[in-house]
RNA sequence: GGUCGGAUGGCCGAGUGGCUAGGCAGUGGUCUGCAAAACCAUCUACACCGGUUCGAAUCCGGUUCCGACCUCCA
């Protein structure tokens, strides 16, 4: 089999993927911070790494995929001045902070389900791993890379950098980082501005807090990922993923923590998905283009001209490579919607094609071309372009311009099944409801309408069509008879 | 301001030196009681200015614009 190559941020190159253990793959992806409604920014990494997860499984690996839930202390998206947002929200609503976290965790899961994102193998929470986090801090202190000040513990980046490379992932130099740190307000406890918190003392009004050897407080935000990846995947594992915005400082700090505690660099491959813009702008509350996933699914946002099915969002994301930025707009999404429908119509058409003795067109290269694109750092847009080339062949075959043998039809079915369904997870929305109950009824109605048409009783035929239309059922007359479907 | 990445046809979006990416829209056809849909064919490109090369969207330099990160905090 051909080599599967992935882009490794650590080296800046595409590398052949070779797991530490030949048969199994361990991967960790930074999950959501559950302080608010899931939005588009959550969809991209979830879907990117879902594709990777599915592909690795398809390749025959036993995959353990850990994606965390961060439910400890939070920050709102932009134009907000930090602070513990779960705590603040909880106070405002008179809720226990965990009620807030749990509410949004549930929302996140619902959205992921709609997007057909497979569940990770383990989905640990930061709050459920306080003991492990405290133990890791102790270990880092014991190894001399952290210090305690006034009930908080900080990672000593300068000391660490003497024997390690802080900046190995983000290619930053510590001197530049020192230079760039603006003059700090004097009350910082940190020895150096580049140091980061492993444990923060909780101020009296801070309601999310846990006991520790250093007093009541809460863990620093980089720590949970190091702790939980280590607990479930080991000190060394295969892939660590997340958004590009996390490269620095989050993932850089993770590497530092793991090296400081275990002398191991955690992941072998670091993969990062690029960001999303909306009509060319970044998404932000202050710009009025902050759109939640529910709003996409329901079409309930001023900027949206219509609702978009979760599969349209998923398909749209796959039309771009994961390391490119992607721009959302109504035009682009509507184009994606039509393309997706075309793809699925062709899959249906393929299943109805009557096989001929011999094919009049050579389709033998499609499988390897698709595989090659997928193996080239998950180039989903190229795979899709080949699938659409196949769509064209299927449609022309239906029109009688080509013949396809039974073998070739089966080959096409296999490719669509592998890519469209198994790996890309683009399930056909029309098939997931209980339409079968209605089938008999609808075929009876359409039969009556066909008879009216034969009798040139257009009034009755149109009445049926218009009446069903008002019931949200669309009738289309095709060469092979009328079809019906729910309107989107 | 610093570091890094990007700028492709009406809209998205692949593509790293010569060969049609693909989707949507547009245009022309086919089908059709009407409507809608569907199908086929097909046009428009590589931000700007220089340079390297037989040849550049692709390499090099500069310019403009855009994005991410650079901070307490996830």
Q: What is the ipTM of this complex?
A: 0.92
Q: What is the mean pLDDT of residues A342-371?
A: 90
Q: Which of A25-29, A32-36, A286-290, A356-360 has the lowest mean pLDDT?
A: A286-290
Name which of A99, A119, A97, A101 is nearest A109 in CA terms. Answer: A119
Model pLDDT for residues A217-227, shown as the tens digit of each residue: 999 989 999 99
Per CA to C1' distance, which residue is closest to B36? A476
What secondary structure does DSSP assign to A98-125, as a single string?
Answer: HHHHHHHHHHHHHHHHHTTPPPPSB--B
Supply A171's token pair: 């290619």
Longest Cα separation, chain A = 91
> What sign does the dihedral A167-A171-A176-A177 (CA atoms) show?
negative
The CATH number of A277-430, from 2.60.40.420, 1.20.1260.10, 3.30.70.2660, 1.20.120.640, is 1.20.120.640
Residues with Cβ < 8 Å from A325, sequence gap 6 or more? A274, A275, A276, A277
Question: Cβ(A297)–Cβ(A114) under 8 Å?
Answer: yes
The H or E element containing residue A273 is: strand A266-273
Position A430 confidence tier, pLDDT thresholds 50, 70, 90: very low
3-state DSSP call for residue A326?
Answer: strand
Angle at A139 between CA A255 and CA A247, to 5 degrees: 15
Q: What is the mean pLDDT of residues A432-448?
A: 70
Per CA to C1' distance, which residue is closest to B38? A478
Higher-pLDDT residue of A181 and A127 is A127
Position A181 confidence tier, pLDDT thresholds 50, 70, 90: low
pLDDT confidence of residue A1: 56
H and E: helices and strands count for chain A: 16, 15
pLDDT confidence of residue A313: 95
Per CA to C1' distance, which residue is closest to B22? A385
DSSP character at residue A271? E
Instruction: Report residues 212-271 of A contacting strand B, contact meaning Cβ closer than 7 Å.
Output: 218-221, 224, 244-250
Query: Which part of chain A is CATH 1.20.120.640?
Result: 277-430
pLDDT confidence of residue A180: 65
Question: Cβ(A56)–Cβ(A238) under 8 Å?
Answer: no
**What is the β-pairing status of strands A473-478 and A481-486?**
antiparallel
User: Measured from the CB, is A333 under 7 Å from any atom of strand B?
Assistant: no
Q: Is the pLDDT score of A176 beyond 90? A: no
**In the structure, how far is the CA atom of residue A285 from the C1' atom of nucleotide B63, in angstroms?**
33
pLDDT confidence of residue A82: 44
Name which of A11, A1, A3, A51 is nearest A27 in CA terms. Answer: A51
Q: Is the pLDDT score of A388 beyond 60? A: yes
| C-alpha A58: how far from chain center | 18
Supply A348's token pair: 């249906």
What secondary structure does DSSP assign to A143-171, as a single string?
Answer: TTSEEEETTEEEE-HHHHHHHS-TTTTT-
Q: What is the CATH number of domain A5-273?
A: 3.40.50.620
User: Measured from the CB, is A385 under 7 Å from any atom of strand B?
Assistant: yes
Residues with Cβ < 8 Å from A367, sequence gap 6 or more? A411, A414, A415
User: Measured from the CB, is A70 under 7 Å from any atom of strand B?
Assistant: yes
DSSP character at residue A364? T
Q: Is the pLDDT score of A339 beyond 90? A: yes
User: Measured from the CB, is A342 under 7 Å from any atom of strand B?
Assistant: yes
The H or E element containing residue A155 is: strand A152-155
What's the mean per-residue pLDDT of chain A?
88
- Nucleotide nearest to A373 in CA–C1' terms: B14
Q: Is the pLDDT score of A369 beyond 70? A: yes
Q: What is the mean pLDDT of residues A138-165?
A: 94
3-state DSSP call for residue A74?
Answer: coil
Model pLDDT for residues A229-244, shown as the tens digit of each residue: 999 999 999 999 999 9
Query: Which part of chain A is CATH 3.40.50.620?
Result: 5-273
Model pLDDT for residues A451-477, shown as the tens digit of each residue: 888 888 888 888 888 888 888 788 887
Burial, A452: exposed, middle or buried (Cβ in 10 Å; 0-12, 13-18, 19+)? middle
pLDDT confidence of residue A210: 93
């Amino acid at each position: 089999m051909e080599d599967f190559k992935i882009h490794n941020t650590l080296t800046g190159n595409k590398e052949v993927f070779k797991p530490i253990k030949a048969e199994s793959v361990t991967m960790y992806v930074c999950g959501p911070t559950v302080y608010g409604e899931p939005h588009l920014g959550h969809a991209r990494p979830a879907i990117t790494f879902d594709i990777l997860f599915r592909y690795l499984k398809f390749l025959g690996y036993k995959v353990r995929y850990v994606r965390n839930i961060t439910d400890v202390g939070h920050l709102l998206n932009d134009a907000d001045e930090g602070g513990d947002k779960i705590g603040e929200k909880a106070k405002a609503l008179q809720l226990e902070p965990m009620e807030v976290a749990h509410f949004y965790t549930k929302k996140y899961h619902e959205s992921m389900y709609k997007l057909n994102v497979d569940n990770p193998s383990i989905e640990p929470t930061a709050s459920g791993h306080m003991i492990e986090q405290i133990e890791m801090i102790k270990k880092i202190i014991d190894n001399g890379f952290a210090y305690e000040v006034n009930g908080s513990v900080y990672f000593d980046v300068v000391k660490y950098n003497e024997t390690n490379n802080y900046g190995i992932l983000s290619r930053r130099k510590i001197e530049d980082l020192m230079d760039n740190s603006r003059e700090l307000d004097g009350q910082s406890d940190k020895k150096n501005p580049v140091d980061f918190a492993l444990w923060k003392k909780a101020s009296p009004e801070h309601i999310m807090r846990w006991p520790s050897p250093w007093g009541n407080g809460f863990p620093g935000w980089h720590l949970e990922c190091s702790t939980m990846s280590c607990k479930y995947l080991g000190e060394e594992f295969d892939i660590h993923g997340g958004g590009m915005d996390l490269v620095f400082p989050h993932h850089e700090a993770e590497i530092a923590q793991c090296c400081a505690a275990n002398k191991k660099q955690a992941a072998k491959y670091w993969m990062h998905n690029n960001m999303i813009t909306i009509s060319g702008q970044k998404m932000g509350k202050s710009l009025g283009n902050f759109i939640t996933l529910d709003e996409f699914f329901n079409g309930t946002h001023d900027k949206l001209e219509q609702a978009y099915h979760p599969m349209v969002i998923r398909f749209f994301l796959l039309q771009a490579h994961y390391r490119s930025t992607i721009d959302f707009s109504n035009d682009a999404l509507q184009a994606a919607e039509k393309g997706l429908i075309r793809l699925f119509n062709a899959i249906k058409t393929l299943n109805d094609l009557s096989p001929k003795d011999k094919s009049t067109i050579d389709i033998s290269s499609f499988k390897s071309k698709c595989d090659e694109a997928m193996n080239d750092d998950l180039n989903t847009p190229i795979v899709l372009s080949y699938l659409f080339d196949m769509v064209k062949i299927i449609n022309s075959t239906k029109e009688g311009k080509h013949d396809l043998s039974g073998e070739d039809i089966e080959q096409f079915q296999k490719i669509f099944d592998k890519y469209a369904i198994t790996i890309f997870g683009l399930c056909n929305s029309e098939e997931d409801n209980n339409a079968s109950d209605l089938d008999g009824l609808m075929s009876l109605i359409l039969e009556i309408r066909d008879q009216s048409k034969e009798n040139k009783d257009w009034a009755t035929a149109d009445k049926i069509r218009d009446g069903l239309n008002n019931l949200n059922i669309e009738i289309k007359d095709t060469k092979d008879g009328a079809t019906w479907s729910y309107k989107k």
